[in-house]
Amino acid sequence: GKYDLVMGEDVNGKAYAWCHLSADPSLPTGPMPDIKVAVKRDETNKTTNYEIAIPWSQISPFKPGVGENLGIAVALNEDDGKGRVSFLSWFADVHAKQTDGVADLILLP
């Protein structure tokens, strides 16, 4: 199944996860409170670190296991509140919502 998940920090500094497209009808689009997102800004080094934990239950019908292939594409947006300045994509053209070119993420033991 295909998902379109967004994680980040809102204009008030609150981390969030949001689902725009869900492959599972029991997981509706909208806020995803079970996905944990932490955003830490280091002003000295001008870097931002994101820690994201997505429970397997939030991407069903995928079932994790050794050797299973979880297709994935990631996009990072550079936007400090004044609109997107740039972005970086890791596999596929996810900004154009083209999910057919996702990468193979093979799970290991």
CA–CA separation, 32 vs 60, rounded Å? Answer: 14
CA–CA separation, 16 vs 38, rounded Å? Answer: 8
Residue 75, Cβ density class (10 Å: 0-12 exposed, 13-18 middle, ≥19 buried) = middle
As given in the structure block, the two tokens for residue 52 are 């994201």
Residue 75 has pLDDT above 90, yes or no: no
Closest CA to 53 of 21, 27, 17: 17
Q: H or E element: which one contains 38?
A: strand 36-42
CB 88 within 8 A of CB 64: no
**Cis peptide upstream of residue 28 (ω within 30 degrees of 0):** no
Residue 97 has pLDDT above 80, yes or no: no
CB 45 within 8 A of CB 15: no
Confidence of residue 67 (pLDDT cuts 50, 70, 90): very high
pLDDT digits (tens, 9 = 90+) for 10-65: 888 899 999 988 888 888 899 999 999 999 989 999 888 999 999 999 999 899 99
**Which residue shows structure tokens 């991407």?**
59
Instruction: Report pTM.
Output: 0.80
